[in-house]
């Protein structure tokens, strides 16, 4: 239950640009929903955009600040989605916007596959130190979460020389072919896209709310080892420490430590998909930190740059020794990543979870 009492009043608002355009807002519905401008745009969208996008709600964004969003008809909403876990610092946080503007003034792109960017190096150093502390690690930047998963899949094969992967029922890892092969969240995401990768096997994800225990999940993996996926053929186990798309499922406390032990015993890499659960969403920078588990590879995206498309996978130095195919990168996103990390650290959001209303107020008022 959310607290019924109002949270302690937030300190005075310090956002730049808040004023006539964006006064201290409360939810305010001025038109029937969708409003006339939104309805017109949604009709045009239906003719121009791929039907693959299945929108959850007829909201047409006009602008956002902190945890408040306004639609094209002037209706104001409290945003509980944060761009589906992307805008970790709230919409258009001034520090993030300033970093983007400053970078745009310098340059936008030079090609990180062929040349060097100082901000990219700095962000990689910072991620490496924080994500896998005490372990020499390497960072590979990507454009999205799915691309980070694809990269981790390739790295796991390259580093181990093994062909197969294990993932979990209910998992969502993305929609590109490799990531989709791991994804087992909804049949609609796979329908008519087969054949996917043949060397992916699934085990049940343990969680009390679905009546699946850690023992059942581990026993299923061991059954896979004994029948269709001998452990020496398995490159990596991909796991969301807390499943997102699958239903916001938290595993029992012994699950991730036992999975870590099982994978280590068989020389299998443990890949934590923290695309949705990471970047401070659960009160630690990474969700795996709740269970003291150290993965071999961590995949990040979404909240890493608070709105700009940036992903990354961070791997122990050992498995990254091989060559990886390069991908396009833009320096501005690294700058935004820096700014987003600064905000998360200064707000202490990677150290403790706050009750929702307080967290919202703090993000809006910072």
Ligand X SMILES: Cc1ncc(COP(=O)(O)O)c(C=O)c1O
Omega prior to 49 cis, within 30 of 0 = no
Q: Is there binding between residue 174 and ligand X (CB under 6 A)?
A: yes
Considering only residues 194 to 253 of the shown chain, the ones binding ligand X according to CB under 6 A are 240, 244-245
Contact residue for ligand X among 131, 137, 301, 360 (CB under 6 A): 301
Considering only residues 43 to 82 of the shown chain, the ones binding ligand X according to CB under 6 A are none
**Whole-angstrom Cα distance, residue 242 to residue 350?**
16
Residues in the interface with ligand X (CB under 6 A) total: 14
Least distance in angstroms from the C-beta of 39 to ligand X: 27
- Candidate segments 9-17, 94-102, 139-147, 201-209, binder of ligand X by CB under 6 A: 139-147
Region label for 302, one of left (φ > 0), alpha (ψ between -120 and 50) or beta (otherwise): left
Q: Is there binding between residue 173 and ligand X (CB under 6 A)?
A: yes
Token couple for 20? 């006539």
- Candidate segments 7-15, 89-97, 228-236, 272-280, binder of ligand X by CB under 6 A: 272-280
Q: Is there binding between residue 298 and ligand X (CB under 6 A)?
A: no
- Indicate the residue among 132 and 167 with the shorter CB distance to ligand X: 167
- Candidate segments 36-44, 128-136, 138-146, 256-264, binder of ligand X by CB under 6 A: 138-146
Burial class (CB in 10 A: 0-12, 13-18, 19+), 193: exposed
Least distance in angstroms from the C-beta of 339 to ligand X: 19
- Indicate the residue among 231 and 244 with the shorter CB distance to ligand X: 244
- Indicate the residue among 99 and 146 with the shorter CB distance to ligand X: 146
Least distance in angstroms from the C-beta of 245 to ligand X: 6
SS3 readout for 33-61 = CCCHHHHHHHHHHHHHCCCCCCCCCCCCE
Q: Are strands 234-239 and 269-273 parallel, antiparallel or unpaired?
A: parallel
Token couple for 208? 């009390």
Q: Is there binding between residue 146 and ligand X (CB under 6 A)?
A: yes
Token couple for 198? 């043949």
> What is the binding site for ligand X (CB under 6 A)?
144-146, 149, 172-174, 240, 244-245, 273, 275-276, 301
């Amino acid at each position: 239950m959310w607290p019924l009492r109002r949270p302690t009043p937030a300190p005075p608002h310090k956002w730049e640009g808040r004023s006539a355009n964006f006064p201290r807002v409360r939810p305010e519905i001025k038109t029937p929903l969708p409003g006339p401008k939104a309805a017109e745009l949604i009709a045009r969208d239906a003719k121009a955009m791929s039907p693959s996008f299945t929108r959850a709600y007829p909201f047409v964004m006009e602008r956002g600040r902190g945890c408040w969003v306004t639609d094209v008809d002037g209706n104001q909403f409290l945003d509980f989605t944060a761009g589906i876990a992307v805008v970790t610092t709230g919409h258009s946080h001034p520090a993030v916007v300033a970093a983007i503007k400053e970078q745009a003034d310098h340059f936008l792109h030079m090609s990180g596959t062929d040349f060097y960017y100082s901000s990219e190096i700095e962000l990689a150093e910072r991620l490496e130190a924080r994500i896998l502390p005490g372990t020499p690690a390497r960072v590979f930047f990507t454009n999205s979460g799915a691309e980070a998963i694809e990269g981790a899949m390739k790295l796991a094969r390259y580093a181990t020389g093994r062909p197969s992967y294990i993932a979990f029922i209910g998992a969502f890892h993305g929609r590109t072919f490799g990531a989709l092969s791991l994804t087992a969240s909804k049949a609609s995401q796979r329908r008519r896209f087969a054949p996917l990768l043949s060397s992916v096997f699934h085990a049940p994800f343990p969680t009390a709310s679905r009546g699946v225990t850690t023992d059942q999940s581990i026993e299923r993996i061991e059954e896979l080892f004994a029948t269709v996926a001998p452990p020496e053929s398995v490159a990596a186990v991909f796991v969301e420490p807390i499943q997102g798309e699958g239903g916001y499922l938290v595993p029992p406390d012994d699950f991730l430590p036992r999975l870590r032990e099982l994978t280590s015993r068989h020389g299998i890499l443990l890949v934590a998909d923290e695309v949705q659960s990471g970047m401070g969403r659960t009160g630690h920078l990474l969700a795996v930190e709740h269970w003291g588990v150290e993965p071999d590879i961590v995949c990040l995206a979404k909240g890493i740059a608070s709105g700009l498309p940036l992903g990354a996978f961070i791997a122990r130095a050992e498995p990254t020794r091989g060559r990886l195919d390069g991908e396009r990168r833009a320096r501005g996103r690294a700058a935004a990543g820096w700014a987003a990390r600064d905000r998360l650290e200064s707000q202490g959001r990677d150290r403790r979870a706050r009750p929702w209303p307080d967290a919202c107020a703090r993000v809006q008022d910072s």
